[in-house]
Amino acid sequence: MNREVRVRFAPSPTGPLHIGGVRTALYNYLFARRHGGKMILRIEDTDSQRFVPGAEEYIIESLKWCGIEIDEGVGVGGPHAPYRQSERREIYLKYAKQLIDAGWAYYAFDTPEELDKLRSEAEATGKTFAYNFKVREQLPTSLSLSKEEVEARIARGDQWVVRFKMPENEVVKMDDLIRGHVEVNTSTLDDKVLYKSADALPTYHLANIVDDHLMEVSHVIRGEEWLPSLPLHYLLYRAFGWTDTQPEFAHLPLLLKPTGSGKLSKRDGDKMGFPVFPLFWTSPTGETSRGYREDGYLAEAFINMLSLLGWNPGTEQEIFSMEELINTFSLDRVSKAGARFQPDKAKWFNAQYMHTLSDEQLAPYMQPILKAHGIEVADEVAGKAAGIMKERMTLTTDMWDLTSFFFVAPTEYEEKLVKKQWKGDNPAMLKALRGVLEGIEDFSKENTEVVVRAWLEREGYGLGQVMNTLRLALVGAGKGPGMFDVTEFIGKAECLARIDNLINNVTPLE
RNA sequence: GGUCCGUUCGUCUAUCGGUUAGGACACAAGAUUUUCAUUCUUGAAAGACGAGUUCGACUCUCGUACGGACUACCA
């Protein structure tokens, strides 16, 4: 079958998009681009109870930050609009009825309370209640009730649902692009609710199949948690008579907790100090969650890290741009086992990306940080400062600590360094060095270095002795780049002022 | 409990019957160094277990164990 590749990312707006969801979106996107297909964004808001305001906007902004482009869907439009399921509600009832007419589904009038009661009764006797072929004809359904009774109940406004009439003892044979061949006997399955009258909305299963069909989706790439409902979905395609255009399925391995067992959750992030969401999120109730963007990660590094969680190219390449990912991604290299999320590796990826940024690319990350500290400089200056220190950066949030001395003179001096350097003949040496620096015309780091090195050799000072004392004066701490980077950056006047400050305000030891 | 999926260094993974089982993160040691880093070198570190198929199994089959997902009028 050689049809146009059309995939969809179909999140439910019940909260911020989890990184597992981002990865699912990413793999869909890579697959679509790899095959010259379309990426659809569909919002599955068929659960009116769990709807969270702002979640949809969050999802769209997250995908945008990640560089995952949507060709068709919510926020973009397209030939199958609307793409928000709550705006397609009238479509689904028609299809539910079609299934009933064909004998593939039926009305059920049990209330949720009655079902809860049946479940707890079964549990009390050590059994599990399943709504299936064994009980559906004993319960109040259109299978047990007369046609008149069913019509009367509906007319009177009784609440009802439409359930799928799961066949008895039939083996459903399925193929998954990642898992291979899977078979399930329908007798182990239950009669899933497809549509509920209470809110006039379908459940996931119906909406999903109907929309995937209508939107001509060719490949369904989703999380492993959906694998157990794949038989139902296969059967729905058959019931509708859509098997010839049924999409291919690929169930992705889950993202697991860094330690312990189970799938990754927001709590893990809070506990271990890493974000599980791409962007910072404030819930309607005011609860907040940190995000990769705000924590100082670059989108490219974040995506690169996520791409390798459950997929690998089969080569030893680890750093991939989005374009390279698109060119190398394939579903048959997606692994089957769940991938444990590793915060340390996320940091390593980010550091790798930080190291490759040019001064121009660094400036936009640097500027807001400088402004927050009341510093206004040109982009070139901000970028240069960051560029000098980028090898030491892991996250963009490291920038201030790493570069503050370029912009602010030390107000206090690190005790350890004072003890080590501000003693003996060092104060006298620094005074002499001040004189040398004052006499330098060309204050470029190259020239300053030549002059200072010649001087210290002539005078018999050690390089470490001179540099570390100068570092104490200019930086105030045992950090920073080579000293001539600092002298050039802050300029002669500032250099001399900082030296004077140390000499005049800090009493040498001994 | 039931159904389904899975199982190679601590972690992410390569290997598609024959390899000294490779790489990366983290870790350790060393080198470089003007502080802190970076970088480089080296090291330690794995096929859950048991049967079978085969000349030969990490790779195929079965069983066991363990892990996970699902089991809602949620997705």
Q: What is the pLDDT of residues A423-470, one digit of tens each?
A: 999 999 999 999 999 999 999 999 999 999 999 999 999 999 999 999
pLDDT at A192: 98
Proximity of residue A86 CB to strand B below 7 A: no
Q: Tell me the CA–C1' distance in angstroms for A492 and B36.
A: 24
Alpha-carbon distance of A34 to A470, in angstroms, equals 55
Structural contact between residues A476 and A467, judged by C-beta atoms closer than 8 angstroms: no
Q: Which pLDDT band, with edges at 50, 70 and 90, does A265 fall under? A: confident
* Residue (of A1, A67, A99) closest to A278 by Cα position: A67
Q: State the pTM of this model.
A: 0.95
Whether the per-residue pLDDT at A502 is higher than 80: the answer is: yes
Please report the pLDDT score of residue A124 as a whole number.
86
Peptide bond just before A82 cis, omega within 30 deg: yes
**Is strand B within 7 Å of residue A144 (CB)?**
no
* Nucleic strand B within 7 A of Cβ A161: yes
pLDDT at A349 (0 to 100): 98
For residue range A112-124, list pLDDT tens digits in order.
Answer: 999 999 999 998 8
Nearest nucleotide over every DNA/RNA strand to the A48 CA, judged by C1' = B74
What's the pLDDT at A286? 94
CA A493 – CA A495 distance, rounded (Å) = 5
pLDDT at A509 over 90: no
Confidence of residue A269 (pLDDT cuts 50, 70, 90): confident
CA A316 → C1' B42, Å?
Answer: 21
pLDDT at residue A270, rounded to an integer: 83
Query: For chain A, how many residues are written?
Result: 510
Give the nucleotide at minimum CA-to-C1' distance from A311.
Answer: B13
Which one from A266, A420, A445, A492 is the annotated catalytic residue? Answer: A266
Query: What is the percentage of chain A residues whose pLDDT exceeds 70?
Result: 100
Whole-number pLDDT of residue A158: 96
- For the residues A255-267, what does the mean pLDDT come to? 86
pLDDT at A164 over 60: yes
Report CA(A341)–C1'(B21) in Å, whole number.
24
Using CA atoms, how far apart are residues A359 and A372, in angstroms rounded to an integer? 20
**Cα gap A186→A230, rounded to integer Å:** 11
Q: How far apart are alpha carbons A227 and A250 in whole angstroms?
A: 9
A182 touches strand B (CB under 7 A): yes
Question: What is the mean pLDDT of the segment spanning A277-306?
Answer: 96
Distance in angstroms (rounded) separating the CA atoms of residues A481 and A417: 16
Across residues A72-82, what is the average pLDDT?
A: 96
Q: Which nucleotide is nearest to A180 (CA to C1')?
A: B5
- Residue ranges of E strands in A281-438: 281-282, 288-289, 339-340
Q: Tell me the mean pLDDT in the region A148-156.
A: 96
pLDDT tens by residue, A402-411: 999 999 999 9
Nucleotides of B under 7 A from a protein CB: 1-8, 10-15, 22-26, 34-39, 67-75
If you measure CA to C1', which residue is closest to nucleotide B24?
A318
Nearest nt (C1') to A127 (CA)?
B1
CA of A309 and C1' of B47: distance in angstroms? 21
- As a whole number, mean pLDDT of residues A90-110 equals 97
Task: Report residue A51 CA to chain centroid gap.
Answer: 20
Residue A57's CB is within 10 A of a number of other CB atoms, namely 11
pLDDT score for A179:
94
The answer to whether some atom of strand B lies closer than 7 Å to the beta carbon of A131 is yes
User: Quick one: what percent of chain A has pLDDT higher than 90?
Assistant: 94
Residue A1 has pLDDT above 60, yes or no: no
Q: How does residue A260 score in pLDDT terms, banded at 50, 70 and 90?
A: confident
Strand A171-176 relative to strand A38-41, pairing: unpaired
Judge if the beta carbon of A229 is closer than 7 A to nucleic acid strand B: yes
What is the reported pLDDT for A263? 85
CA-based torsion, A196, A202, A205, A210: positive or negative: positive
| Catalytic status, residue A416 | no
- Look over chain A and give the mean of its residue pLDDT values, rounded to a whole number: 95
Mean pLDDT of A50-57: 96
Average pLDDT (A69-78) is: 97
Please give residues of chain A from 87 to 126 whose alpha-adjacent beta carbon (CB) lies under 7 Å from any atom of strand B.
110-112, 115, 119
For A319-363, give the secondary structure using H, E and C: CCCHHHHHHHCCHHHECCCCEECCHHHHHHHHHHHHHHCCHHHHH
The answer to whether some atom of strand B lies closer than 7 Å to the beta carbon of A14 is yes
Task: Give me the mean pLDDT over the A43-55 stretch.
Answer: 94
Q: Are A38 and A32 in contact (CB under 8 A)?
A: yes
CA-to-CA separations, A508 to A248, A420, A430, A459, in angstroms, rounded: 76, 11, 12, 21
